[in-house]
Structure 1
Amino acid sequence: MQSTEDAKRSRYEIRSVDTDLAVLIVSTVSELGGGLELWVAFGTVKDFRLIAVHEIAESLGPMRCYALPRFHSLTGCDATSYFQHIGKRTAWKIWKLSDMLTTALCSLRKDPKNLQDSILHTVKRFYSFCSITGPAVLNALMRHEETCL
């Protein structure tokens, strides 16, 4: 009886205080397809938020959702350290400008043991842009990507 009721539901809520879990949920909800409404009750009493994960996944698109766990691990998570003096927001802005990084991160997620030179080069470029960012560098990167397209 319970599984029949669950099959009719399309709205779920998950409680978490861990960003790693939130990232995995965003990545997974994109793979589950439309019609699913998934919310994460995130934080503690003082900083409590109810986050519409399905809306985040929709705005990111399937490729970025699929690459999101790798981006999170590159920029710092429970198991890896973060960039020195670089926040996730800065790294996120750079990632939004680079479709090549998205493709590389998707390849890493699909086959983590197949680390090709092109993937490694793209990730190294991402790190170097993160370490020298500022408004001028971000604008230069945007202009470069526009001319390449």
Structure 2
Amino acid sequence: MRLVERILKGERAAIAKAITLVESSRKKDKEESKELISKLILHPGHSVRIGFSGSPGVGKSTFIESFGSYLVDKGYRLGILAIDPSSQLTGGSILGDKTRMSEISKNENTFIRSTPSRGSLGGVSFGTREAAIILDSAGYDFIFIETVG
């Protein structure tokens, strides 16, 4: 699978494609994503995973941008998985974390992915674990998972 090789090289487009695949609800994509993760899990990285949870407006994104900037300035690669709550009424989500983390999002050693929770309980969305595996296999040193608590 060529996608695996591209992820292992840290190609951003391949990482984005893989995360889209694991988040998909299509049956074909679910089968492909299982195969992808089963191959990537054989290539574990050394990433440190840190979760950030709290009420809206308490400063999670501000802290992540500040701490994340410190880490990338030290030469580390940072992956950020930001899970935004979905509206129970419309199912929509704002997905505004890239906007709130404007400076760090410009850094080539940072990968930010905003994902709607899609009604998933527990603050993380379906596919968050798999997305973290993808970032780990791609060589990211730190993976931040941000969610409303």
TM-score where L is the length of structure 1: 0.24
Question: Bigger radius of gyration, 1 or 2?
Answer: 1
Higher relative contact order (CA 8 A, sep 6+): 2
Q: As a proportion of its length, which structure holds more strand?
A: 2
TM-score where L is the length of structure 2: 0.24
